[in-house]
Structure 1
Amino acid sequence: MSTTSSITLFQILVCMFFVTTSAYSNSSNIHYEAFFNCLSKTSHSHIPIYLPNTSSYNSTLISSIVNPRFSTPKASKPHLIIQPLNESQVLAVVICSRKHKFQVRTLSGGHDYEGLSYTSNQKLPFVMLDLINFHSIKVDIKRETAWVQAAATLGQLYYNIAKKSPVHAFPAGLGPPVGVGGHISGGGYGALMRKYGLAADNVIDARIVDVNGKILNRKSMGKDLFWAIRGGGAASFGVVLSWKIKLVRIPPTVTVFTVTKSFEQGAIPLLHKWQYIAHKLPKELALLTWLRKQNSTREVSFIALFLGKSNQLLQIMNESFPELGIKREDCIEMKWVQATLYFFQLPYNGSLSSLLDRNPTRRYHFKSVSDYVTKPIPESALQEMWRRASEVDLPYISFIPHGGRMSEISESEIPYPHREGNLFSYLMK
């Protein structure tokens, strides 16, 4: 299926409703009574709703905003925050929002970097459809699948998989508080993607509410819409209620390491060589790098996840990247679920309960940009990047290697075309 022919007229119309509804009256002229009457008639049950003049509105909104850049007085705010309790109430919200000319912004975890799930730059009336109550996870180890509702977090998913099996996982992101709904709909990359691809590559079914307020699954939505929601931003096409995902197999023991180099220790030459190596390593090894400020100085950290034991990892590193100087004492063997805590810099030797925490450990104002690299960046350019990063208050730049399974999947398989030929992606934050 080519990417140019996969968006149909139906999907364009859906996108117009959920994202670019035509202009209406401003907020001062909005009348809620007709909207509430519609909800009452359509859902036949009480729906939790917060209006701007109610006491719980601000606390509910602020708790949903991960990036405080969008919690300023100038930021646009939803005219209503709606937290449906069941699927029929979601249908009612979609139907009545369309009827009464409200945009719908869907929130599962609130981690989208541009605040698209709780703001609007179009100055049009919108409701925030907060799926906070949709966090059920049903793991079927026998079939190696799971149904995950949209507002479940990655940490909750990892926790529930680990409870059922020590040799199963799901290839998704490094942030446990991130909501599954938006993460998968944008592609969803993480430390297992070189072995198993993106999170969206491992979706086998979904339940979505369309513009007409109907629940569709993979069969009833058709192949084009199912293609579009896996990496193309599902909120543009409807409201994802849940994903059915394929679990992947991992060994009972994985190995991690973090080695940090300063400028004086050759961080830039090592980062330059990393570009030629990381995408060619065995699929079982993801070697990420972070350029970050630590104690007012810049450092480059090399962080690895290897699906196997430390002796195998040491052999690979000594053969492929001896300049990094990895030693046995640098390597830590653990379970995969512990590694999900390790990568988020959380304690990993004790209880796994921190995976269940929806609240991020840090909230700070940020602006992010990212891109994909097809040719190695010259060492001189990396030196300049280092210099400029030292001059500004830039928390970090992360480099995520591609290759492996990522190069084997067709660029048109899902709406994520960055496959073969991409060495790595980077994120400046």
Structure 2
Amino acid sequence: MASSRIMALAMLVISSFFFLSAHASSDSFLRCLSGSIPSQLLFTQTSPSFGSILASSVRNPRFLTPATVRPLCIVTVTNASHVQAAVVCGRTHGVRLRVRSGGHDYEGLSYRSARADAPPFAVVDLARLRSVRVTRGSPATAWVDSGAQLGELYYAIGKVSDRLAFPGGLCPTVGVGGHFSGGGFGMLLRRHGLAADQVVDALLVDAEGRLLDRNTMGQDIFWAMRGGGGGSFGIVLSWRVNLVAVPPKVTAFNVKKTVQEGAVDIVAKWQEVAPALPDDLLVRVIAQGQDANFQALYLGSCDALLPVMRSRLPELGVDRTHCKEMTWLQSVPFIYLGSGATVEDILKRNLSGDARFSKATSDYVRQAISRNVWADIFRNWLAKPNAGLMILEPYGGRIAGVSDSATPFPHRSGVLYNIQYMNFWGSAGEEAGRTGWVRDVLAFMAPHVSKNPRAAYVNYRDLDLGQNVVVSGGAGGNVTSFEAGRVWGEKYYKGNFRRLAMAKAQIDPSDYFRSEQSIPPIGNQLISTNVERVDHAE
């Protein structure tokens, strides 16, 4: 009994020591920040505006509950020196940083921790770094800050020329920083590939507070940051991208088919037709309830589109009444927001429906799923009262014409399409049933999707795939485990995960930029034994 009391007292003393140490570190970190960053840009938990700043770009209310592990403070930076100061103060005083651009991270890891015992951390919020500078030329390019939203980038491009575009995602409120970091694809993917494929330079603040560009960060880091996920290699302030050519008029359509109208048969056929269509045409599917909505963007006229649809997918019944000819810029709000939306709508920082309770995950399909399975999906899964939706994005074309190792994004050759499973709900009480549907349908789909590994898309982040484990590291520190990271990392990156870990060891060997699914640094011994194999693969 006496020994138990002594042990309990010792544990209390140790816990108190670490609590006081953490508290002292937090105080010294905040004092350090206040010496380098204007007070109006710094919001601590006691600041009156802390709650509103935190919520300003939280897209999922699941991560705004009282139980959410929140940051020590939020730094709303306006220039590179503020970011550098945050990194230096954080490293000096033992406070880690998370980085938020648009707040669309599906697990909220850009502004919260998923672990109740997380040490203090701060958020660097990039929302005030949002300029877009378009330069016409050959090639035409743009510098876009990480805090800009896709809609702001698209609007700036479209106002310069109706013959220029950028191949990013559909949702206009998605932040550029996170989107580019994970790859980024949308309606132009079959003609122009990923957003990350068009990145030609970037400005990065590393874990030492240095401001680096493509030349000074080195080839391996530049490779890693174009698809290797956000929050692992440093804080990207701005990206230089090549813009792509589009005709002055494009054609879009939305055609909805019910199960009674043959949706099951059309989706089953779509699987093999859509990835083999001309590269200028993308037809995706949103399956919800007993409906399949076919959304398309064609880089050409209705007159040229109709013969293609009649010969390749006549069952869809596309005719002239479905065609909407417009500029590429006008197609962005039309496809995502509906026919009544204007191009100015994509400049809004928040859209109706942005902030909804949600859960999502993803799959890749390499062999067409049988018609009977699709019938089962519509009958037994999409018809459930708590069902969500499935978004099917066809690949092929340009995205498949790039080597799987050219960027960290490996889902290229041989992929028919990506599936995103999503569910939304209106109150916390619905969470169990709604998230249960996502997990259950994912389990049902296992025999029908990619295997070894079962692949997923990092921009549809899902902590159910695995989380990092911290282990002892060199020089008395600790780092996240490479082996534990492989559990989730090879699903996102396949064979590129090891090279990402090697790049992490180059630029952030102490693993300062760390989250539940950040890239771990691989050990020096493993680096030396694997460099030759990676070089030969290139």
Structure 2 length normalisation: TM-score?
A: 0.72
Provide the C-alpha distance between the structure 1 equivalents of 2:172 and 2:20, rounded to a whole number of angstroms: 36
* Match among 133, 138, 142 for residue 137 of structure 2: 142
- Structure 1 residues 21-420: aligned runs within 5 Å: 25=18, 29-31=22-24, 32-41=26-35, 43=36, 45-46=38-39, 48-122=41-115, 123-143=118-138, 144-293=140-289, 298-347=290-339, 351-362=342-353, 363-386=355-378, 387-420=380-413
Secondary structure of the residue aligned to 1:371 is strand
Provide the C-alpha distance between the structure 2 equivalents of 1:75 and 1:331, rounded to a whole number of angstroms: 46
Partner of 2:443: none
Secondary structure of the residue aligned to 1:139 is strand
Deviation at 1:154, TM superposition (A): 0.4
Is 1:27–1:125's contact at 8 Å kept on the other side of the alignment?
no
Is 2:365–2:415's contact at 8 Å kept on the other side of the alignment?
yes
Deviation at 1:141, TM superposition (A): 1.4
Change in CA separation of 1:232 and 1:107 when aligned onto 2, cut-off 3 Å: same
Is 1:113–1:367's contact at 8 Å kept on the other side of the alignment?
yes
User: How many residue pairs align between the two structures?
Assistant: 400
Change in CA separation of 1:183 and 1:44 when aligned onto 2, cut-off 3 Å: closer
Secondary structure of the residue aligned to 2:221 is helix
Secondary structure of the residue aligned to 1:236 is coil
Change in CA separation of 1:27 and 1:230 when aligned onto 2, cut-off 3 Å: farther
Deviates more, 1:201-210 or 1:31-40: 31-40
Provide the C-alpha distance between the structure 1 equivalents of 2:20 and 2:335, rounded to a whole number of angstroms: 43
Deviates more, 1:78-87 or 1:172-181: 78-87
Q: Give CA-to-partner distance per residue, 1:9-29, whole Å, 9 cap, x none.
A: xxxxxxxxxxxxxxx945995
Is 1:197–1:406's contact at 8 Å kept on the other side of the alignment?
yes
Which AA in structure 2 matches 1:158?
Y
Which AA in structure 1 matches 2:318?
I
Secondary structure of the residue aligned to 2:74 is strand
Highest RCO, 1 vs 2 (Cα 8 Å, sep ≥ 6): 1
Q: Identity over the aligned pairs, expressed in percent? A: 41
Deviation at 1:45, TM superposition (A): 4.7
Provide the C-alpha distance between the structure 2 equivalents of 1:263 and 1:346, rounded to a whole number of angstroms: 23
Is 1:146–1:247's contact at 8 Å kept on the other side of the alignment?
yes
Runs of 4+ in 1 over 6 A off after TM superposition: none
Change in CA separation of 1:323 and 1:224 when aligned onto 2, cut-off 3 Å: same
Provide the C-alpha distance between the structure 2 equivalents of 1:110 and 1:253, rounded to a whole number of angstroms: 32
Deviation at 1:36, TM superposition (A): 2.9
Provide the C-alpha distance between the structure 2 equivalents of 1:40 and 1:301, rounded to a whole number of angstroms: 52
Provide the C-alpha distance between the structure 2 equivalents of 1:347 and 1:27, rounded to a whole number of angstroms: 58
Is 2:252–2:335's contact at 8 Å kept on the other side of the alignment?
no
Secondary structure of the residue aligned to 2:337 is coil
Deviation at 1:324, TM superposition (A): 1.1
Partner of 1:10: none
Deviation at 1:383, TM superposition (A): 1.7
Provide the C-alpha distance between the structure 1 equivalents of 2:376 and 2:20, rounded to a whole number of angstroms: 47
Q: Give CA-to-partner distance per residue, 1:130-158, whole Å, 9 cap, x none.
A: 01110011000124000000000000001
Is 1:158–1:169's contact at 8 Å kept on the other side of the alignment?
yes
Deviation at 1:304, TM superposition (A): 0.5
Q: Give CA-to-partner distance per residue, 1:226-273, whole Å, 9 cap, x none.
A: 000000013211001000000000000000111101110010110000
Is 2:249–2:300's contact at 8 Å kept on the other side of the alignment?
yes
Secondary structure of the residue aligned to 2:359 is coil
Provide the C-alpha distance between the structure 1 equivalents of 2:292 and 2:325, rounded to a whole number of angstroms: 23
Is 2:142–2:243's contact at 8 Å kept on the other side of the alignment?
yes
Q: Give CA-to-partner distance per residue, 1:51-106, whole Å, 9 cap, x none.
A: 11221111111122101111111121111111112110110001111111112110
Q: Larger % of helix: which?
A: 2
Is 2:145–2:238's contact at 8 Å kept on the other side of the alignment?
yes
Secondary structure of the residue aligned to 2:383 is helix
Gaps of 5+ in 2: 1-16, 423-538
Provide the C-alpha distance between the structure 1 equivalents of 2:242 and 2:20, rounded to a whole number of angstroms: 44
Change in CA separation of 1:360 and 1:26 when aligned onto 2, cut-off 3 Å: farther
Secondary structure of the residue aligned to 1:207 is strand
Provide the C-alpha distance between the structure 1 equivalents of 2:234 and 2:338, rounded to a whole number of angstroms: 35
Deviation at 1:174, TM superposition (A): 0.2
What's the RMSD between the two structures over aligned residues? Answer: 1.6
Change in CA separation of 1:33 and 1:73 when aligned onto 2, cut-off 3 Å: closer
Q: Give CA-to-partner distance per residue, 1:257-314, whole Å, 9 cap, x none.
A: 1110111001011000000100000000000000024xxxx21011110000001100
Which AA in structure 2 matches 1:336?
W
Structure 1 length normalisation: TM-score?
A: 0.90
Which AA in structure 2 matches 1:51?
T
